[in-house]
């Protein structure tokens, strides 16, 4: 009977030497490849690097350092392991229901609301928001910036193509989020994939942007950054939340993932809860 090792079984304890090599590896990745993972959660990095090393059949962090510096394909594999972009459309449907019921009616009072989906992955979240805007009659006047550090994920997102196997889950989520039509109205199936209507992305700008190293670029009315902060350490979470407060207009909105929050970030005073159970916040007036 053949057995496949699970992720947990691939993770092993790192000795003191490996810990030092790990810090040097993150410095190399920053200096040579321009990606800064030094503010990510140590536990996340160790887990994903262990997994990448196992896949690449590399036995030590020193060896990984040597290979990453000499072989771009090794960097590419490690990078894909460090930028997990697994998601679903309308993931956590109550979040999207609350956007529909509570946030978008207020955004509708702006002549041209700007929305930033930061860390958009392969596009599930941004297409979900575009569908909401369409159903609220707001897509035409809105502008959505969808950014990520992973160019492969961004490319998938900009094509709007998702596996057919994911559609049943997406459809259930869409209904639970209060969808007004049927999800099938927004895609057609071709060659085993669901191709989403290109009209949905007529107001979306896809761009590479790192929350670790890049600056803010426009005033926003709403930032949706879900399931990204979870990978950062507390200091970087705080810096990122402050950056969102800086980019948001007076009383702008921030939406986070179900397992994320602003309480421990040192930036909590800049926001107040707007819809607490689904992690939607609003910028506090005194910090305008
Ligand atoms: C789990 S996905 C979340 C996708 C989407 N927000 C959602 O919830 O459906 C996490 C995404 O964060 C991106 N990411 C990780 N670090 C980032 C950074 N420093 N700046 C921007 N995006 C980042 C990854 O590339 C990945 O696509």
Q: What is the DSSP string of 221-244?
A: EEEEE-SSGGGB-HHHHHHHHHHH
Residues contacting 223, CB < 8 A, separation 6+ = 115, 116, 118, 244, 247, 248, 252, 253, 254, 255
Ligand 1 centroid, distance to 227 Cα (angstroms) = 7
Q: How confident is the model at residue 11 (pLDDT cuts 50, 70, 90)?
A: low
**Coil, helix or strand for 106?**
helix
Check if 121 has its Cβ closer than 6 Å to any atom of ligand 1.
Answer: yes
Query: Do residues 179 and 242 share a domain?
Result: yes
Query: Do residues 148 and 267 share a domain?
Result: yes
Among 13, 137, 15, 29, smallest CA distance to 81 is for 29
Query: Do residues 202 and 109 share a domain?
Result: yes
Residues contacting 275, CB < 8 A, separation 6+ = 98, 102, 103
By most ligand atoms within 8 Å of CB, the mutation choice from 35, 85, 131 for ligand 1 is: 85
Q: How confident is the model at residue 9 (pLDDT cuts 50, 70, 90)?
A: low
Query: Do residues 21 and 64 share a domain?
Result: yes
Query: Do residues 118 and 221 share a domain?
Result: yes
Write out the residue range of the structural domain in which residue 64 sits.
7-82
From 82, 112, 128, the end of a domain falls on 82
Residue nearest atom 13 in ligand 1 by C-alpha distance: 119
Query: Do residues 78 and 156 share a domain?
Result: no
Residue nearest atom 4 in ligand 1 by C-alpha distance: 121
**Coil, helix or strand for 197?**
coil
Percent of the chain with pLDDT over 90: 87
- pLDDT given at position 13: 64
- pLDDT given at position 272: 95
Residue 88 within any structural domain of the chain: no
Query: Do residues 54 and 99 share a domain?
Result: no
Residue written as tokens 């492969």? 152
């Amino acid at each position: 009977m053949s057995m496949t090792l699970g992720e947990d079984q691939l993770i092993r304890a790192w000795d003191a030497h490996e810990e030092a090599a790990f810090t040097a590896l993150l410095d190399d990745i920053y200096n040579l490849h321009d990606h800064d993972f030094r503010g990510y959660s140590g536990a996340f990095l160790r887990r994903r690097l262990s997994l990448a090393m196992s896949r690449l059949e590399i036995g030590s962090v020193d060896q990984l350092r040597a290979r990453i510096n000499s072989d771009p394909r090794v960097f590419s594999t490690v990078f894909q392991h460090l930028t997990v972009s697994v998601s679903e459309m309308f993931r956590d449907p109550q979040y999207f229901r609350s956007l529909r019921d509570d946030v978008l009616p207020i955004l509708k009072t702006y002549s041209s609301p700007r929305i930033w989906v930061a860390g958009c992955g392969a596009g599930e979240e941004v297409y979900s928001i575009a569908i909401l805007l369409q159903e609220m009659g707001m897509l035409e006047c809105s502008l959505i910036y969808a950014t990520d550090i992973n160019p492969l994920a961004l490319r998938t997102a900009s094509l709007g193509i998702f596996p057919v196997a994911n559609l049943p889950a997406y459809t259930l989520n869409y209904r639970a989020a209060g969808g007004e039509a049927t999800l099938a109205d927004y895609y057609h199936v071709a060659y085993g994939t669901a191709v989403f209507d290109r009209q949905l992305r007529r107001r979306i700008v896809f761009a590479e942007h790192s929350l670790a190293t890049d600056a803010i670029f426009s005033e926003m009315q709403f930032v949706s950054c879900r399931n990204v902060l979870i990978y950062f350490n507390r200091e970087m979470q705080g810096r990122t939340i402050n950056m969102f407060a800086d980019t948001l207009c007076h009383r702008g909105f921030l939406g986070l993932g179900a397992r994320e929050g602003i309480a421990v970030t040192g930036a909590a005073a800049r926001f107040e809860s707007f819809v607490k159970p689904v992690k939607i916040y609003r910028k506090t007036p005194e910090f305008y």
